[in-house]
Amino acid sequence: MTKHILEDAAMARRNFLTHGGKLLTGGLLLSALPMGSALAATAAPVPLIIDTDPGADDVIALLLALSARDKLDVRALTTVAGNVQLNYTSRNARMVREWANRPDVPVYAGCARPMLRAPIYAAEVHGAEGVTGVKVFEPKQPLAKGNAVQYLIDTLTAAKPQSMTIVTLGPQTNLAMALIENPGIKQGIKEIVMMGGAHFNGGNITPAAEFNVFADPHASDVVFKSGLPITVIPLDVTHKMLTSPERIDRLRKIGNQAGKIAADILDAYVEHDIKQYGLPGGPVHDATTIGYLLRPDLFKGRMANVEVDTREGLTFGATVVDYYRSTKRPENARWITEGDTQGFFDLLTAQLAKLP
3-class state of residue 354 by DSSP: coil
Contacts of 148 (CB under 8 A, 6+ apart): 24, 25, 51, 78, 79, 80, 108, 109, 110, 111, 174
Among candidate residues 199, 218, 239, 285, the one labeled active-site is 285
Whole-Å CA distances, 245 to 59, 173, 185, 257, 266 = 19, 35, 44, 19, 10
DSSP letters along 235-292, please?
HHHHTTSB--HHHHHHHHTT-SHHHHHHHHHHHHHHHHHHHHH--SS-B-HHHHHHHH
Q: Do 204 and 83 touch, CB atoms closer than 8 A?
A: no
User: Who contacts 325 (Cβ-Cβ below 8 Å, separation ≥6)?
Assistant: 304, 305, 331
- Is 199 considered catalytic here? no
* CB distance 184 to 155 below 8 Å: no
Q: Where are the beta strands (DSSP E) in 15-160?
A: 46-52, 72-79, 107-109
Q: How many Å apart are CA 354 and CA 356, to the nearest integer?
A: 7
Q: State the Cα–Cα distance between residues 92 and 96, nearest whole angstrom.
A: 6
Give strand pairing partners of 320. 307
Q: What residue type is assigned to position 208 of the chain? A: A
Q: Which residues are catalytic?
A: 285
